Structure 1
Amino acid sequence: MNTYQNLLVSIEASIASITINREAKLNALNAQTIQELQEALTDALENTEVRGIILTGAGEKAFVAGADIKEFVGLTQEQAVELATRVQTELMDRIATSHKPIVAAINGFALGGGLELAMACQLRIAAEHAKVGLPETSLGIIPAYGGTQRLTHLVGQGRALEIILTGDMLNAARAYEIGLVNAVVPMEQLKTAAEALLRKIFRRSPFAIAAAIEAVNASLEASSGGYQAEIAAFGRCAAGPEFVEGVQAFLEKRPANF
């Protein structure tokens, strides 16, 4: 098993547990963490002993509090498009098309890229104190890792637009109410609830499980061009002046002057 700087990985009873271990940074997705996630997921998906995966964050504050915004600053439109395309295809799509079920155990804030990561998983269970959202418009950009598409598929156009355009956070109960998460449990039960869900799935045919995931994903293929539209729009935003103002305002803890 590989050794990672930003992940903790273990395998027990056919379940691979992958924990993003940057608690001091609220488990934010920087380039190294994304690379390590790609490697850990590939290993788990190729390991014949593994039948399902749990993805979570270290501690009780954050699942993933977002992408590392500093890595977006100064990108040209072309570089922003290249970055979003790479993360979308090499990580998010890899999760979404996994032939093994992946459960996001949302142990705290799942914001921006963190919610996009959770939405790429087949199933989501949230701790009662968790909060989720896509606040990118507050920074002058939009979700770039599939958020505009997967959120719409999960909760519908109207709710997706409200969440994205306002940038507001939702508590776990509201996320469950609108179908964004499958279950809400006390924090101390989060791991066991995710494991129990996978064990229930393990009683079914692995071949049929993989086929079902593929078939459900096929129902979304008609709108697959939306991911490219999202990436292109992100590129335009990331190279624009409002993103500069948005990041500066965020760092200075003041309202942005858009």
Structure 2
Amino acid sequence: MNPARHSADGVSLAVYEEGEGMPFVFQHGLCGDQAQPGQVFPEDVGFRRITLECRGHGASDAGPKTAFSIATFASDVAGYLDASGIERPVVGGISMGAAIALRLAVRRPDLVRALVIARPAWICAANPENMAPNRIAGELLDRYPPDEARRQYEASPQAEELERTGPDNLASIRGFFTREPIDVTAALLRAISMDGPGVTEAEVSAVAVPTLVIGHGRDVVHPLGHAQSLASMIPGARLVEITPKADDAGAYRADFRAALAAFLREL
């Protein structure tokens, strides 16, 4: 699948589309790419998936590393929607993508017809403790060559704890140590882990569009409690708990697709 290109402040970003029907902007997580939402996007629901790969992710250029933030990434999505003339799509995302979608629902409600928040890593506050594993990986990559950074991480009590409580999180973190360019990966992990969606609880409580929140257990970086909290804040939000990815990746994807399909068909 060859991407279209969108320029945001001179930074070239990749835009992927698949399927036919109404637009659903579906954003990936930190250090992911368009394949992540693509794996859980259901077929034959009358929607087409649009994913704008964020700066420094996938086939998008990085641009200045000082610009890495959830606010910038959300602004890039808004700029693409404004430029393309796509009117009020469903907007959603996984992890970091969920924070981007939530920020858009609060800051640009004119762009959002409905909202999907999947495996949220943030509620409202910046630098949440659950993002520490990713932040520490970024700090190690910033200070040491990748092999030594990984060795130190693997020897840490945090890695031992993740092996037990969040093996899927640990698998993702291990991938960071070989993700090129290393300097971009380190900058993303540090900047985004300490960032937040830049919204307040009062603003989240005022979101007035149909909302689906997806969460699961056995996930240190994306606590089920975050999904529960956001679902309780947003009026009328539907919370669906799915099979943890760490338990059964196939069941996780099937559950995710089923939850999305039911929500999108109702729209």
TM-score, L = length of structure 2 = 0.32
